[in-house]
Every structure is written in structure tokens, then in C-alpha cells.
Amino acid sequence: MNKRIAITGLGMVTALGFGAEANWAAMVAGRSGIRRITRFDTTGMRATMAGCVDLPEDKPGEPLSVAARAERLGEAAIGEALAQAGLSAPFAGPLCIGMPPVEVEWPQRGRFGAATYAELIERMSGETALYEEFLFGGSATRLAERFGTQGVPQVVSTACASGASAIQMALEAIRRGEARMAIAAGAEASLQPETLIRFGLLQALSTRNDDPEGASRPFTLSRDGFVMADGAGALILEDEDHARARGATILGYVLGAGEAADTFHRTRSAPDGSAIIRCMRRALDDAGLSPADIGYVNAHGTSTPENDKMEAMAVRALFGELPPPPVGSTKSMIGHTLSAAGAIEAGICLLALRHQMLPPTINQTDVDPELGVDTIPVARPHSFRAALSNSFGFGGQNVAVVIGAAE
Amino acid sequence: MRPVGITGIGIASSQGEGREAHAALLGGAAPVLDEARFAPHPVHPLPALPFEAAIPRRELRQMENWQRLGVYAAGLAIDDAGLRERVAEMDLIVAAGGGERDWKLDEQIMAASPVEAERHRMLMDGLRPTLFLAQLSNLMAGSISITHNVAGSSRTLMGEESSGAEALRIAAARVGSGSSELCLAGSAFIAERPEVLMLFAMGGLLHRGPWAPVAQRRGIAYGSMGVFMTLAPAEASAPIAILRHVATDQGRPEGRTARLAALLDGLPTMGPECLRLSAASGAGEATQAELAALGRAPDLFAADLLGHGCEAAFPAAVALAALAIQSGRARQVLVTGAGAWRGEAVALLEAP
């Protein structure tokens, strides 16, 4: 069996607020962080609401770029996690972080008044601040330098599974003995006009614009798409012996992780759910657990018709003859934080284990009876020792992480 | 750690495709250039490649050239290694930037210079729904899985040159430590894209004027290239070369030479005949720092043959190093690289 990896710090930022405990209190109360987008003009767009984390630096007509916001949210989450772990910069291990792809956005492009790329290439030449802002490794590198992490920051993009992939890569680095500890994080801020338009064109988003708080309604008959959201989550992972030797408080464990690429389609799971089931099985095998050991599934649960149907079916298949444990989606409250979701939701599993309480899936007024799972309509006490966190992404990316309770 | 072998190479660049075409370059070859299209910035262009024959039509339609090139090179590597029957268990690590933008639509919007709401309307009307999937960084990996049925783990790393070296380092570490039995690792880069050249222009990185070799310029001539390699335990395969050592580091630019020197100090013993191959870009400070750490000039700059491939640059240099061993040109090859903005890497390859 693989060595357990201790979690000694947790940080979180979502539309529900800054800080893991603030988020937990809001989730247990069943609050929604989804609201109308105000940081840019949404006239004519299919979706006009999101889980927005607006910041003081957002200026009218020129909000922060995806890269800049993701960096700030990541910094807040990592800073919180390090403080809880009793650590500070420099950090003696790598930064593994799920982040969105970035590119120069329209407000920056517009500044140069160019009509063609040839003109733009000439006029933007030597704009090094913009260059550094929009490098694919730029934001993560600044976070790595801010916290003094070691080596190359492992910036992973597996679409909506990125945060879970970051946990898996950190876990592997510690198991291989490359480091005694690692920061596993996800930071997301893709909510800018062009990205919202692109997801809208894929018909992936909820259009329940007149009811933002009711829009993310995983597992219901009326679910109609996901709701984009900003956010960040961070976990400090440590070799258990290392954590004990330095007297750190062990909050819980990452017991294992599993992944499986789906070769069926770019945006849909294989109809038999085989890749999703395989990734959950691999996570359990990696943790040395059987399905009966899992007391809670924090589902990917995006609130799209396709995902929730496939995921519920796959979870039932995984548990076979056993009744599946409660299956909740906290995206009902915080929206879909894309690259950060895996890190945030692993953090939520940790909080649920520590409080022995299940966070709810809100908006369960018309649960889809065909799904056959207990979706946790209201928060409730629950006695359990391990939770499974699922993350699935476009491109056939499937990752599951098993979080265990502290002794 | 068990020894890690490179068992298959898939490479396509301005110089053509495949092992033979690229092994033939190692004695020295003229670059293939397009100096007109993005003048005054020369690029090493992608040649016509038979994507239609290698990628099913319905998949090809979902991709632009960046993904097509990566999928094509990955297929070459799988075939080169004779591993078609083992793709279900194959792990995948890709180093990626982003996919293509619709630059024609971008230019329509730039020319119209509309107010915010009108700009959004032009995007809503003009963007093709499938284009988003051609743009997402991890969708090259997704397209490789779908096209070639690669169904193990799948990870995409971002971060310019560093991500290419880090993809190989992690692939080798996973195979070496036994957490992967078979790994496909690599990258692709398309130089002939205005939005990509714009990013590097902002960094002041583009070489201007007639092409010059790396040693004689202070700027980058980018080149399109796709390169993938299959890695497996050396004892269980018939490797082209042993990937004896890969190490990376990163920090603030002023520490480049010292970090690279430390990486070189950490290498296993190098023989006097060791061939030195550099993945240097030509970017002024980074390349000078790399040369300072090396002490003497490398025997070969990969960018002089292929152009600089950003995320794909280090994997391409490692592929050339493996070809140098396979073709009998060297028994041992050192590969070095310093990213234009951040990151340093070294690799040591040896004859099996």
C-alpha cells in the first residue's frame, strides 16, 4: 500500500468568500455565491451570471485579466494554507498548480489601436510587462517566486480536472522522494467575455439568468448547464513522518489518486462510463481502500444534463451491490471553478471530514429520480472516514482523489 | 531508479518528418526558412504533412494545425516504437501553449475597433463553436487520446520552454520509479501564428532581419515542430538511447548561470567524447547565461536546424540527441537549455 500523505494546511477563495472556514460556514448554510456579472458588459450573451470574485483592482471597462486574477486568488489560497501549516516562504518543495490557459485579452489588444496583427506585433514590441503577464507559465512562476518554492512550478492543465491533477502530481513527487512536502493548488479566473462566449457557443452553460442563485442545480430534472466561477484552493501536502517530526497538526490525508483518459469524445464521456469508473477504481486502489470505505462523494456534478447522468451511473456502477454513499455537488453553491475545482473540492472533502458534516447540494427542488443517488439537499451530520472527490474535464480528462480523516 | 529507454521517436519540423530526415541534419544542414510572411521576422515553417492520411477526417475537423501536428508526431512515435497494441496502458505527458485563435476574426474586430458590447456581438457571431476546443491547451492531449486511443493517464504542462523539459523529466521519473510502464511525452509548436509571434514580440524576443545562427544573433527565430517520444524501462525494451538523466530548475533570471552550473555538476560522469547539444533559443541573456555555464560552445544548436520551438524545443533537442546515438554519431550526448524568460534544464543520453 502507498504511503499516506498528510494535509497540514488548507486555503480557499470562492464566490462565497475568502478563507476555508468562511466558505464552510456559507456552504453548511446552503448559500449560493452565484450572481449577475457586473465586471463586463453581458448584453446578448447566453449566460449573464457567474460565481464572481471581483477585486478592488477591477476597473470599469478594464477588469483584471484572467492571468492577473488567477494569480491573486492563488496567492490568497496558498498564503492561507501555508499559514495554517505553520510555514512561510521559502517553501522546501515544489508548487503543483492547476491554472487556466491565458492569452492577451481585448482590453490590452485595444490599447494599441492596431488594425492588423502585423501592426500589433510592431506596436506591442517590447511591452515586457504584458509579455510577463500573459506567458503560460507567468502567473505560476510569480506564485513560485512569491512563496519561494523549489524547482520548476508544475503548471498543469487538464481542463476541469486540473486542480485534481495538481494534487496527484504533488502526491507523486513526495512519494518519489523528490520532496518531503509540496503545495497542491488550483487557481481559476477564466471568467472574461470571450471565454464566456466560447462556453456559451458550446451550449455548456446554464441560461437560467433570471434566477442566478438557482441556476447551478446538479442532479435535478431542470439542470441546464454549468455556471462559470472564479476561485482558488490550496493544500499543503507532506510526508507524514515529516509533518509529525516538525510537530505540525495533521488535518487529514490524501490517501490516493487515480486518473484515466477517455478516448471517446472531446466533451462527452464514453456511454458506458468506463473511463470515469476506471479513474475512481484507480484512486481507490491507490489508496488501498474498497468502495465500502467511502462515506461521501464530492461529485464533479456540474449541473449539465450529460455529466450528472453519467457520473451518477458511474458511481452506482462503482458501488455495485452496495448502496452508494451520499453524492453531493458543492458546485451548486460556488459554481464551476474549472481549473481550481479539483483543489477546492478536495479541500471541501477535508472540511467535511473534520466537521463530520456533509455540505449540501442546493436547489434540489426537482431531483432527477433516474439518477438513484442521495444528493444531500440539506447539510447534515455524517460519520465517515474517507471521501472521494471527482473531477472530469474536456479532452477526456478524468481524475479522482481520495481524502481521509485525521486520526 | 531503473534505467529509462527512449523506444520511439516521432518528429516533424521544417526539415521534414521522421528519424532519417532528422538524423541526416546532425552533420550540419541549412535551415528551411520563410522570411517573407512575418517579415522582418524569419520563421522555420511547417512543411506539407499528410495529416489527412494519418488522422480521421471527423477528428481533423475538430483541430487546427497545432493539434494536428502534435497528434501526427505522437502517431509517428507510437509507430516508430511499434506500440500500437499497447496504447490502452500508455501514459501521456504533453507540454503545451495554446491552440490557434481565429486571427482573421481578430483582425476584423481590430479594424472595426468597436465599443465593448459591439465587440462581444462580433465574437458571438464570428467564433465557431468548435474553435474553443481547438484552443484549449489540454486538447492536444485529448486529441491524441481520441485519435490514437492512448488511455492511461493524461497530463498537460504549461510554461513555455520549462514545460517541455519538465514533461520529459516527469515522464522519466515515473518510468524510472515504476509508477509508469510506458509513457508518451512531447510537445508541438506552430511558429507561423500571428498571436504567438505577438506574445514573443512583447518580450522583445523576435530576431529581426535576415536569419542568423544562434551564436551570431540576439533574438529568436521560431520554428514549427512536433516531437514525441515513448519512454519505457530500458531492460524491457529495445531502446534507441538510454535517457540516463534529466534535471530542471527555475528561479530568478540573475541566477541562471549558477543554477545551470549546479545542474551540470549533478550529472553522472561525462566522457570526453560526449557530444554537446544545446536547445538555446538565441534570446540574448538566457543564451549567454547557458553558454557561460557550459564553459565551451556546444557542438550543435538545435535551433540552427529547426528554429526555436518554445515548449517543444527541449524535447526536440533530446530527440536529436537520441538520433545522434542511434546513427552512431555519438555514444553519449549532453542536452542543455535555458528558457527565454525562465527555466534551465539538462539531459544526458547514452548508447544502450
Three-state DSSP state, B118: helix
How many interchain CB pairs under 8 A, A with B?
Answer: 251
Same topology, domains B4-105+131-236 and B242-350? Answer is yes
Dihedral sign computed on CA atoms, order A110, A116, A119, A124 = positive
Distance CA B5, CA A77 (A): 40
Mutation site for B-interface testing, chosen from A62, A152, A192, A266 by largest number of B Cβ within 10 Å: A152
| Phi-psi map region of A373: left, alpha, beta (phi>0 left; psi -120 to 50 alpha) | beta
Q: Cβ–Cβ of A41/B120 closer than 8 Å?
A: yes
Grid cell for residue B218: 540576439
- CA angle at B152 for the pair B148 and B158, rounded to the nearest 5°: 85
Report DSSP state, residue B216: G
Distance CA B314, CA B161 (A): 7
- Among the partner-chain residues B62, B116, B342, the one whose CB lies closest to the CB of A137 is B342
Which residues fall within 8 angstroms of residue B255, CB to CB, at 6 or more apart? none
Residue A407 confidence (pLDDT): 85
Q: Cβ–Cβ of B123/A41 closer than 8 Å?
A: no
Distance in Å, alpha carbon of A127 to nearest chain B alpha carbon: 5
CA torsion angle for B121, B122, B126, B131 (degrees, to 10)? -80
Per DSSP, which regions of chain B are E strands? 4-13, 16-17, 91-95, 154-158, 183-189, 225-233, 241-249, 275-278, 300-301, 332-338, 344-350
Residue A1 confidence (pLDDT): 58
CATH number of B4-105+131-236: 3.40.47.10
Distance CA B261, CA B256 (A): 8
pLDDT tens, position by position, B5-29 = 999 999 999 999 999 999 999 999 9
Q: Helices (H) and strands (E) in chain B — how many of each?
A: 14, 11
Grid cell for residue B347: 539531459
| Phi-psi map region of A99: left, alpha, beta (phi>0 left; psi -120 to 50 alpha) | beta
pLDDT tens, position by position, A132-163 = 999 999 999 999 999 999 999 999 999 999 99
Distance CA A405, CA B13 (A): 51
Q: Cβ–Cβ of A131/B203 closer than 8 Å?
A: yes
* Enzyme catalytic residues of A: 160, 300, 336
Distance CA B350, CA B332 (A): 4
Contact by Cβ (8 Å): B325, B240? yes
Q: Cβ–Cβ of A151/B250 closer than 8 Å?
A: yes
Q: Which helix (H) or strand (E) holds A305?
A: helix A305-319
- Among the partner-chain residues A110, A158, A178, the one whose CB lies closest to the CB of B156 is A158
Burial code (b: 16+ CB inside 10 Å, e: under 16) for A216-229 equals: bbbbbeebebbbbb
Q: Chain A residue closest to B247 (CA)?
A: A151
| Phi-psi map region of A280: left, alpha, beta (phi>0 left; psi -120 to 50 alpha) | alpha
Distance CA A141, CA A146 (A): 8
Per DSSP, which regions of A221-351 are E strands? 231-239, 252-259, 296-298, 327-328
- Interface predicted TM-score (ipTM): 0.97
DSSP sequence for A24-87? HHHHHTT----EE--SS--TT-S--EEB----TT-BTTBPPPHHHHHHHHHHHHHHHHHHHTT-
**Cell 557550459 identifies what position?**
B294
Q: What is the pTM of this model?
A: 0.98
Q: Cβ–Cβ of B96/A172 closer than 8 Å?
A: no
Of B200, B162, B188, which Cα lies nearest the Cα of A153? B162
Q: Helices (H) and strands (E) in chain A — how many of each?
A: 14, 15
Mutation site for B-interface testing, chosen from A37, A119, A136 by largest number of B Cβ within 10 Å: A136
Domain B242-350 homologous superfamily, CATH: Thiolase/Chalcone synthase (3.40.47.10)
Per-position pLDDT tens, chain B of length 352: 899 999 999 999 999 999 999 999 999 999 999 999 999 999 999 999 999 999 999 999 999 999 999 999 999 999 999 999 999 999 999 999 998 899 999 999 999 999 999 999 999 999 998 888 889 999 999 999 999 999 999 999 999 999 999 999 999 999 999 999 999 999 999 999 999 999 999 999 999 999 999 999 999 999 999 999 999 999 988 999 999 999 999 999 999 999 999 999 999 988 999 999 999 999 989 999 999 999 999 999 999 999 999 999 999 999 999 999 999 999 999 999 999 999 999 999 999 9
ω into residue A271 within 30 of 0, thus cis? no
Q: Cβ–Cβ of A260/B198 closer than 8 Å?
A: no
For chain B, which residues make up each domain, given as ranges?
Answer: 4-105+131-236, 242-350
